[in-house]
């Protein structure tokens, strides 16, 4: 139904993570305009790393490349950035929201639980993860609460029909209080972007070990570690099912990004 482009909007090289990581952003073509799923590292981050990323930059070590900013990649693909009407967030961590300020006219969709957490952080982790500088341009926020519907076994799913049919927001709490996944109908298959529900493909493929730096970071910033582990199990089962009409990607694994780009979804 929708053409989906897979973009890297932020190369990062965390400590003890060979090969580094990416900020995997979806650009979705719909009949009513363009939609981003997450926004990666933005131009304001490039201009002011200390003010926009803070001390975390010394651990995750972003490249801060203007060419990787979503707004510039939209232009490079031949689109007008003003046609990006909606941005759907998996969560409000800075490496997913850095590009919001480059699209101040866009409506930003997120779960109501994540918006509450960002506005009223209740733990030390939440106070450190939600950056006021990523909201100081007064983004147009649209909250969504869980429904009685499910999507492939994931409860609480909301089809964002006000954006376009075939874009579904799925609560997937654990990494953050209101973390979500986003499913997009690409016609012959679905793309399921699960944000930071897992950090590295080996956590769901069981084919090897997760790099030490990523494993430590995931545990350190998790809002609810038991839910994170539950998400790993559910997503591992989905991966093992090998449904031919589903492409499963996350926020940071460069190999999953590469495979999705090769498939041209």
Which parts of the chain sit beneath pLDDT 50? none
Torsion angles phi and psi, residue 37, rounded to 5: -105, 110
The pTM (predicted TM-score) of the whole model is 0.97
CA 31 – CA 34 distance, rounded (Å): 8
Give Cα separations from 80 to 38, 76, 83, 132, 189 (angstroms): 18, 9, 6, 28, 26
CA gap 37, 33 in Å, rounded: 13
CA distances from 126 to 115, 116, 134, 156 (A): 12, 11, 14, 23
Run of H or E including 180: strand 180-185
Element (H, E) at 237: helix 225-241
Whose CA is closest to 128, among 34, 209, 53?
53
Question: In sequence order, what E strands does 66-155 have?
Answer: 84-88, 107-111, 140-144, 150-151, 154-155
The residue to which tokens 């990006």 are assigned:
84
57: domain range?
A: 3-263
CATH number of the domain to which 72 belongs = 3.60.15.10
Give me the number of domains the chain comprises: 1
From CA 224, how far away is CA 181, in angstroms rounded?
16
pLDDT of residue 82: 98
Q: Are 106 and 140 in contact (CB under 8 A)?
A: yes
């Amino acid at each position: 139904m929708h053409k989906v482009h897979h973009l890297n909007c932020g190369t990062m090289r965390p400590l003890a993570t060979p090969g580094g990581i990416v900020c995997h952003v979806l650009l979705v073509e719909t009949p009513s305009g363009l939609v981003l799923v997450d926004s990666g590292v933005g131009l304001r981050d490039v201009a002011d790393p200390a003010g926009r990323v803070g001390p975390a930059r010394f651990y995750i070590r972003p490249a801060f490349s203007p060419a990787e900013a979503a707004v510039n990649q939209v232009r490079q693909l031949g689109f007008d950035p003003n046609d990006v009407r909606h941005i759907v967030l998996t969560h409000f961590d800075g490496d997913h929201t850095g590009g919001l300020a480059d699209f101040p006219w866009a409506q930003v969709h997120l779960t109501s639980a994540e918006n509450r957490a960002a506005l009223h952080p209740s733990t030390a982790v939440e106070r450190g993860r939600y950056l006021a500088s990523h909201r100081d341009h007064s983004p147009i926020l649209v909250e969504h609460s869980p429904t009685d519907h499910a999507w492939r076994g994931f409860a609480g799913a909301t089809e964002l029909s006000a954006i376009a049919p075939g874009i579904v927001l799925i609560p997937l709490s654990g990494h953050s209080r209101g973390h979500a996944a986003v499913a997009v109908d690409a016609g012959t298959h679905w793309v399921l972007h699960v944000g930071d529900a897992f950090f590295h493909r080996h956590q769901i493929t069981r084919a090897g070990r997760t790099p030490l730096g990523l494993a430590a970071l995931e545990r350190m910033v998790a809002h609810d570690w038991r839910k994170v582990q539950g998400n790993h199990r559910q997503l591992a089962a989905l991966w093992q099912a090998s449904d031919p009409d589903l492409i499963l990607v996350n926020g940071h694994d460069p190999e999953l990004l590469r495979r999705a780009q090769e498939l041209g979804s």
